[in-house]
């Protein structure tokens, strides 16, 4: 995969009720993110979230990263964040090393997803698709 250009701006659509997701993304340091890093909590809804869902994205099962007009999901999305991140700070260094490998990121993503779902269940938080129900 060619390195995405962070100067185009990076948007991450994720579950803001997941404490692990929230802490990782709010601590993420990207290199040369000219357009900035924009975190979008999927639980807040809105036109962008509705458009992602209409396009077939299940935000309970996948994180979505948009750089410019390209989108990546799941393990590929974490790989893109790994490519764009800096190796500064413990968590950034760890994620930088793990997700620089697309193969390793894709292999680990299902375990991360299951861990997130278990954590949300233990915290008594509904899935995104059922939060408004």
**What pLDDT sits at residue 56?**
93
Q: Which domain holds residue 78?
A: 6-124
Residue 115 lies in a domain: yes
Q: Which pLDDT belongs to residue 49?
A: 94
pLDDT score at 130:
66
Q: Do the beta carbons of residue 94 and residue 105 sit within 8 Å? A: no
Q: For residue 65, tell me if it sits in a domain.
A: yes
Q: What is the mean pLDDT of each run of 10 residues along the chain (133 residues)?
A: 64 92 82 71 93 93 90 90 79 78 86 92 87 50
* Residue 48 counted as domain residue: yes
Is the sign of the CA dihedral 40, 42, 47, 51 positive or negative? positive
* Residue 132 lies inside a defined structural domain of this protein: no
Domain contains 1: no
- pLDDT score recorded for residue 35: 61
What letter does residue 89 receive in the DSSP assignment? S
Torsional class of 75: left (φ above 0), alpha (ψ -120 to 50), beta (otherwise): alpha
Those residues whose C-beta lies under 8 Å from the C-beta of residue 2, and which sit 6 or more positions away, are: none
Supply the pLDDT for residue 23: 85
CA 14 distance to own-chain centroid? 5
Domains of the chain: total: 1
Instruction: Give pLDDT, residue 59.
Output: 92
Q: How far apart are CA 66 and CA 87, in angstroms?
A: 21
Instruction: Give domain status of residue 130, yes or no.
Output: no
- Residue 114 has phi, psi (to 5 degrees) of -65, -40
User: Residue 131 falls within a domain, yes or no?
Assistant: no
> Does 63 reside within a domain?
yes
């Amino acid at each position: 995969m060619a390195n995405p250009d962070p100067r185009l701006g990076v948007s991450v659509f994720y579950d803001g009720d997941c404490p692990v997701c929230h802490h990782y993304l709010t601590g993420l340091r990207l290199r040369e993110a000219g357009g900035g890093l924009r975190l979008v909590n999927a639980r807040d809804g809105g036109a962008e979230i509705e458009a992602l869902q209409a396009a077939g994205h299940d935000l309970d099962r996948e994180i979505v990263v948009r750089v410019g007009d390209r989108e990546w999901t799941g393990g590929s999305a974490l790989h893109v964040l790994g490519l764009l991140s800096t190796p500064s700070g413990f968590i950034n260094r760890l994620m930088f090393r793990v997700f620089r490998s697309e193969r390793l990121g894709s292999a680990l993503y299902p375990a991360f997803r299951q861990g997130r779902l278990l954590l949300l269940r233990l915290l008594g938080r509904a899935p995104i698709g059922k939060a408004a129900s």
